[in-house]
Structure 1
Amino acid sequence: MTNLELDPRRTALVLVDLMPRIIALPTEPYPGTDVLARCLTLAAAVRAAGGLVVFVRVERPGVAEQPPGSELAVECAPEPGDVQIVKRTLGAFHNTGLDDILRSRGVRTVVLGGLVTNFGVESTGRAADEHDYDVVFVSDAMAGLHGYAHTFAVDYVFPRLGVVCTGDEFLASLG
């Protein structure tokens, strides 16, 4: 990664599907519990720097009751100023109001982490790029259902959509 420069006040950390039933899935190269811990570290730093934290969770459309574990992980209880989005598709932008929320707060950079790399995170990253945000993917704050899917997204897809960095590199960019 090259020199990442951010204005934290115009940055949103968007954390995808940190829900018990998804955290419990077998993910690679990191277990969901490790991804959750890294995402929470990033969230605390973004808040402290004056940025926005957005938690995204998915609900299955057309079902009377969501599967057990469909709420945000208890560790992700939004703090004052955080935003929670409920999506019904892979990505967090379609019919959720996320773009309006980000624009109303002057956000220019969307930083992504969560589960899983090659579904919710990638779909949200593609949409963020299409909505003309600067996109940052924190490679060790996400994991895929298969190691090769995670690696392909991080090494091949994400560099075409934005900047890929580690959590430590992102934290250093916050100043």
Structure 2
Amino acid sequence: MVTNSYAKLLIMHEASVPDEVRSAVVERRGRSHAFEGYDPVSSALIIVDMQNHFVAEGGLSEVPVARGIVTNINALVETFRAAAGTIVWIRSTMSMEGRGAWPMFFENFIAPEKARDARAGLMAGTWGHEFFAELDVGSDELVIDKDRFSAFSPGASNLDDTLKARGIDTVFVTGTMTNVCCDSTARDAMMLDYRAVMVEDANAARSDEAHVGALSTFLSVFGDVLTTREAIGVLQVK
């Protein structure tokens, strides 16, 4: 668990979804939140890419703010455990060849040397591939590897099949980056008819603008956005 001395060093996004966005959402759908009533047993906490590669100081694709959401993620994990919910730890897992090399992305959007390092840094068995040490990862919890931004992208992982087999109809998405893998996963969840929720202060991006922009669009069209405190409140066993 995160120590108090560690927690004092953490930073989080200072910005949140603007009031004007929330007001527009209420005007459009007649209420603040898309969904009412949450059953923890049919809900899953999805923790995306909280690996050393993205979270640890010195990680190749470091997102410094991601260290600041560890406490909130751990609090959500504790809540899901107590409520008998499903917890899924998602890892980006790449390879130097085959599907896991993802040439469409690495050959067109990243310079060759950086692409090689990024692939190598997310290969199974490397330090970058491991979960950040301060995370409270349970030994009996689900760990699923993905090789695309969205864990629900066809062929990227077995997340959809795994959740459907457990009767899951709602997902709470956390992790990093808000505007890339987390947003992609949450949007695709909605497209597959899951009730999708992004936890505002348990997601992290490289800038407040990227974080807020992704959450604002998601709230407007794709699902709901709750804070950690709100999520815990709707999930706790009464």
The equivalent of 1:89 in structure 2 is 148
Give the equivalent residue in structure 2 for 1:47. 81
Partners of 2:193 and 2:42 lie apart in 1 by 14
**TM-score, normalising length from structure 1?**
0.90
Match of 1:158 in 2: 219
Map 1:3-152; keep pairs closer than 5 Å. 4-24=36-56, 25-27=62-64, 31-62=65-96, 66-67=120-121, 68-74=127-133, 75-80=135-140, 82-94=141-153, 95=155, 96-152=157-213
Cα deviation for residue 62 of structure 1 reads: 2.4
Query: Deviation digits for residues 97-126 of structure 1, max 9, x if unmatched?
Result: 111100000000011000110011011011
Determine if contact 1:55/1:78 at 8 Å carries over to the other structure. no
Equivalent pairs, count: 171
Deviation track 1:136-157 (CA, whole Å, cap 9, x = no partner) reads 1100000112211111011223
Q: Distance in 1 between matches of 2:70 and 2:76?
A: 10
Runs of 4+ in 1 over 6 A off after TM superposition: none
- Measured in 1, the distance between the counterparts of 2:228 and 2:152 equals 23
The one-letter code of the counterpart of 1:99 is D
Amino acid at match of 1:51: G
Percent of pairs with identical residues: 30
Q: What SS does structure 2 have at the residue aligned with 1:54? A: strand
The verdict on how the C-alpha distance between 1:166 and 1:4 changes in structure 2, with shifts beyond 3 A counting, is: farther
Provide the alpha-carbon RMSD of the alignment: 1.9
Q: Which has the higher strand share?
A: 1
Checking the alignment, whether the CA contact within 8 Å between 2:218 and 2:224 is kept in structure 1 is: no
- The TM-score with structure 2 as length reference comes to 0.67
Contact residue 173 and residue 199 of structure 2 kept, 8 A: yes
- Residue 127 of structure 1 deviates from its aligned partner by 1.1
Deviates more, 1:44-53 or 1:32-41: 32-41
The structure number with the bigger radius of gyration is: 2
The amino acid of 2:51's aligned partner reads M
User: Is the contact between residue 77 and residue 87 of structure 2 (CA under 8 Å) also seen in structure 1?
Assistant: yes
Q: Secondary structure at the match of 2:167?
A: coil
